[in-house]
C-alpha cells in the first residue's frame, strides 16, 4: 500500500474543542492531511482532561485528535492574531466549532481569514448553525438529541425516551463537515481559472445533523400525522427486524423482502407464521408475529441462530459490548480498531478510519499531541525570519512561552 493518503497535499488548521470539530479534523488527518490544532495556552481543548487517561491527554481527546500537531496561541494578543493569520494564509482549510461570533471577535472570522487567503475553505460547526432564530444559542449534543427529535424515538418501546448511546449529533456534524470540506475542495478546483467568485465558507449545526438523521420519520409524519414514541430494538417500518433474546444472549435479524418470508419461517420453524406473507400483514399483526419468533429464539443459543440464519442468507449478528467490538476479527481486519503505543498513555486502542482504500492505509501516523507540543516547529516553518518568530514570542503570541502548557 502507498503511505501517502489522498489528502496528503492538504493543509488544515483547526481551532476546535470537545468532539464535533476535532472529529472532522481527525477524519481529514487520517486521509493524509496535515492538521494543525490551535489551542489556548495553558488550557487547551477541555476534552484533554475529560475521562480516563493521562493528565492532559484523556482517551476522549486521544480518539479525536490523532494524527495532528498542536500549537498554542493567545488570540487576544495582537501577536497571537498575527501569527494565527500567517498560519492560515497557507492553509487550504480552517475548521472551527466555537460559539456564534467568537471567531469574529478573535479576529479569525471568515472575512479576516479571506483577506490573507481568498481561497480558504472555512468550516464552521455550531450548535444551531449560523442562521435562524436559534443561531446564538449554545448547543451541546445531548440537548440537540432532545430538541432534534431523535431522543423521542430512542428507548424501550412504550417507555421513556433515552439518549443515543454515543454523541451522534457531534459525530454526525463532524462527518457532514468533512463531506462539505471535500465538496468545497472540488468546487474550488472546478472554478480555478474562471471569473466565478469562490466563497469557501459553510456552516453546519448539530441541530441540523440530528434533524437530518431523523430521515424517514419526518416523511412518515407528513403522510400520517402520527407521532411515534421510543422504538425499542425494533424497526419503524419492517417486521421482523429487531433484537431477539436467545437461550444465552441476543441476536438481531430481519427479513429484507417478502420473497424471503417462507425461507425465514423454515428457519424459525413456526408454520402458523407462513400466512403473514407481506410486510404490511406482519406490521398489522406485529405482536403475534414477533411473539412467535421470540418464543422459538429463546429455546436455542445464539450460535445456533447465527449459523442457521447465515446459512440461509439472512442478515444477522450478535449483541456485542465494547470489549467484543475491540476484539472483533472483522474490526481488526478492516483497521477499525488501531492498537497504538502512545508515549503518554501506553498501548491504547484508537478508532480507525471507516473508509477502506485499497492503495492506502489510514494508519495512526502520530499520537494525539501534547498541548502546544509543536508550537516551535510549526511557527518556525512559517516565520519569514527568526526576528519575526522572536517578536511573536515576545508579544505573547504563544502564551507565557512557546509551547506553554
Number of structural domains found in the chain? 2
CA dihedral 381, 383, 386, 389 (to 10 degrees): -110
2 backbone dihedrals φ, ψ, rounded to 5°: -70, 155
CATH number for the domain including 107? 3.40.50.10540
Do 157 and 28 fall into the same domain? yes
Q: What is the pLDDT of residue 404?
A: 43
Catalytic residue (one of 30, 92, 170, 203)? 170
Give dist(CA 243, CA 254) in Å, integer: 9
Do 306 and 171 belong to one domain? no
**Residue 338, CA distances (Å) to 63, 272, 320, 351 in order:** 10, 48, 18, 6
* C-alpha cell read off for 377: 516547529
* Pure H helices in 44-93: 59-64, 78-89
Per-residue pLDDT of 349-369, as tens digits, reads 999 999 999 888 888 999 999
What is the model's pLDDT at position 54? 94
Does residue 149 lie within any of the structural domains?
yes
Whether 335 and 313 map to the same domain: the answer is: no
Nearest to 344 by CA among 5, 19, 56: 56
Positions of the chain with pLDDT under 50: 1, 401-405
Last residue of a domain, one of 318, 349, 373: 318
Q: 60 and 193, same structural domain?
A: yes
Could you confirm whether 195 is annotated as catalytic?
no
Residue 92: count of CB within 10 angstroms of its CB:
22
Distance CA 16, CA 67 (A): 15
d(CA 114, CA 109): 8
Residue with cell 438529541: 145
Q: How many CB atoms lie within 10 A of CB 174?
A: 30
Last residue of a domain, one of 318, 348, 373: 318
- On whether residue 265 sits in a domain, the answer given is yes
Same domain, 198 and 258: no
- Residue 324 inside a domain? The answer is no
- 94, 118, 90: which is closest to 14 by C-alpha? 94
In a domain, 154, yes or no: yes
Domain coverage including residue 45: 11-213+330-394
Q: Which cell numbers hold the place of 382?
A: 512559517
pTM (2 d.p.): 0.93
pLDDT at position 2: 56
pLDDT for residue 79: 96
* 40 and 88, same domain (yes or no): yes
How many CB atoms are closer than 10 A to CB 205? Answer: 27
Amino acid at each position: 500500500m502507498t503511505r501517502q493518503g489522498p489528502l496528503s497535499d492538504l493543509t488544515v488548521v483547526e481551532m476546535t474543542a470537545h468532539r464535533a470539530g476535532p472529529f472532522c479534523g481527525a477524519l481529514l488527518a487520517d486521509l493524509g492531511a496535515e492538521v494543525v490544532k490551535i489551542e489556548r495556552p495553558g488550557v487547551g481543548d477541555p476534552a484533554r482532561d475529560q475521562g480516563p487517561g493521562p493528565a492532559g491527554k484523556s482517551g476522549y481527546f486521544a480518539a479525536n485528535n490523532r494524527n495532528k500537531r498542536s500549537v498554542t496561541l493567545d488570540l487576544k494578543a495582537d501577536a497571537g492574531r498575527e501569527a494565527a493569520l500567517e498560519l492560515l494564509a497557507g492553509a487550504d482549510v480552517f475548521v472551527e466549532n466555537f460559539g456564534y461570533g467568537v471567531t469574529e471577535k478573535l479576529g479569525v472570522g471568515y472575512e479576516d481569514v479571506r483577506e490573507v487567503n481568498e481561497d480558504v475553505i472555512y468550516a464552521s460547526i455550531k450548535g444551531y448553525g449560523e442562521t435562524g432564530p436559534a443561531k446564538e444559542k449554545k448547543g451541546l449534543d445531548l440537548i440537540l438529541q432532545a430538541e432534534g427529535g431523535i431522543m423521542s424515538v430512542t428507548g424501550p418501546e412504550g417507555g421513556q425516551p433515552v439518549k443515543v448511546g454515543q454523541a451522534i449529533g457531534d459525530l454526525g456534524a463532524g462527518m457532514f463537515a468533512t463531506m462539505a470540506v471535500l465538496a468545497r475542495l472540488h468546487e474550488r478546483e472546478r472554478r480555478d481559472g474562471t471569473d466565478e467568485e469562490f466563497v469557501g465558507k459553510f456552516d453546519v449545526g448539530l441541530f441540523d445533523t440530528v434533524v437530518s438523521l431523523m430521515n424517514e420519520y419526518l416523511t412518515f409524519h407528513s403522510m400520517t400525522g402520527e407521532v411515534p414514541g421510543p422504538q425499542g430494538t425494533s424497526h419503524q417500518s419492517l417486521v421482523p427486524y429487531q433484537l431477539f433474546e436467545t437461550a444465552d444472549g441476543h441476536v438481531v435479524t430481519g427479513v429484507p423482502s417478502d420473497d424471503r418470508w417462507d425461507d425465514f419461517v423454515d428457519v424459525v420453524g413456526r408454520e402458523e407464521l407462513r400466512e403473514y406473507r407481506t410486510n404490511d400483514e406482519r406490521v398489522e399483526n406485529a405482536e403475534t408475529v414477533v411473539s412467535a419468533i421470540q418464543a422459538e429464539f429463546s429455546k436455542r443459543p445464539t450460535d445456533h441462530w447465527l449459523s442457521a440464519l447465515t446459512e440461509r442468507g439472512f442478515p444477522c449478528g450478535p449483541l456485542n459490548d465494547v470489549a467484543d467490538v475491540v476484539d472483533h476479527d472483522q474490526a481488526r481486519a478492516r483497521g477499525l480498531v488501531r492498537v497504538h503505543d502512545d508515549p503518554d498513555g501506553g498501548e491504547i486502542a484508537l478508532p480507525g478510519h471507516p473508509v477502506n482504500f485499497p492503495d492506502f492505509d489510514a494508519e495512526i501516523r502520530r499520537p494525539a499531541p501534547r498541548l502546544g507540543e509543536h508550537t516551535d516547529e510549526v511557527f518556525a516553518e512559517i516565520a519569514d525570519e527568526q526576528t519575526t518568530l522572536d517578536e511573536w514570542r515576545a508579544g505573547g503570541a504563544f502564551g507565557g512561552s512557546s509551547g506553554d502548557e
